[in-house]
Amino acid sequence: METRLNTLQKCLRILTLFGEVRAELSAADIARSLDLPRSTTYRYVLALKAHGLLEEDPRTGLLRLGGRLLQLAGGVRKRGLIEISRPVMERLATETGETFILAGLHETSGICLERVEGHHALRVSHERGAIFPLHAGATGKVLLAYLPKDDQERIIAQGLPRFTETTITDPKVLRAELRRIRRRGYAESDGEVLPHTYGLAMPILSDTGWILAALGMSAPSTRLDSTRKTPVLEKMTAATRAIARELAVHDVT
């Protein structure tokens, strides 16, 4: 019994590492952080992957929190955020052909809670369960823009790593961008995380103005850019308002 409890504690400790250290970790990172033998770490990782609690990025081989955790969290409430948002996102995807994500906060990062794919063959979007930075990309920036100032400063102080030439890495520039997002009510990104992509995101707000989640999308810049954003923005505005109304009716906060 004691051995089983020890194993459970170590598995839980592995899960809590994500977000405390980095959003994505290798098995070697986990072994080093927890001072575990690599063979033991790999065994725990395989078990967590088998249950959907961890996922491996096929491109990098790095591990991240799995979608099963989101399903478990979503099942706590009678009508959760994902359940309410998904039909609206499906309509958006059908009308525009683009892929949309629903995102929330995970520690000092963003996390993709749900994804609805459009019909375009070429898509640029986060997978369900993916964790992403808040200072780069439309969805991350809109989540950051509606956080309290103290939380914004805490996240900015952790550093603003560069992903592309257009990533905002200057705290002063980022603060100005966050103020601009709040004035306009939406965020946009021109290749800030991946080159040659364009993204839009809007907050889903409570009646008191507190951000509950973000609705985001991105597409190749050959298909969407700042000169062609208006029709998509109009549909996203209607969608976020519809989701917010439904959340209020069901008292989901």
Q: Are 144 and 134 in contact (CB under 8 A)?
A: yes
pLDDT recorded at residue 54: 87
State how far the Cα of 17 lies from the Cα of 124, in Å rounded to an integer: 28
- Cα 47 to chain centroid, rounded: 24
Which of 105, 153, 91, 157 has its CA nearest to residue 133? Answer: 105
Question: Do 198 and 219 form a contact (C-beta atoms < 8 A)?
Answer: yes
Q: What integer pLDDT is reported at residue 17 of this predicted model?
A: 82
Q: What is the pLDDT of residue 1?
A: 42
Please give the Cα distance from 253 to 245 (Å, whole number).
12
Query: Can you tell me the distance from the alpha carbon of 200 to that of 232, in angstroms, rounded to the nearest whole number?
Result: 9
> How open is the CA angle 228-231-237, to the nearest 5 degrees?
125
Walk along the chain (253 residues) and give the pLDDT tens digit of each residue: 435 557 788 888 888 887 565 667 889 989 998 888 888 899 999 988 888 888 887 778 888 887 777 656 555 444 588 889 999 999 999 999 999 999 998 888 999 888 898 887 666 667 788 889 999 999 999 999 999 999 999 999 999 999 999 999 999 999 999 999 999 999 999 999 999 999 999 999 988 888 999 999 999 998 988 999 999 999 999 999 999 999 888 777 6
Q: What is the pLDDT of residue 207?
A: 85
Distance CA 129, CA 70 (A): 7
Please give the domain boundaries of the chain with CATH numbers for all domains.
2-65 (1.10.10.10), 70-249 (3.30.450.40)
42 to 6, 13, 80, 177, 223: CA distances (angstroms): 16, 14, 34, 42, 42
Look at residue 77 in the predicted model and tell me its pLDDT: 46
- Supply angle C-alpha 224, 152, 33, rounded to 5: 95
Predicted confidence at residue 9, as pLDDT, reads 84
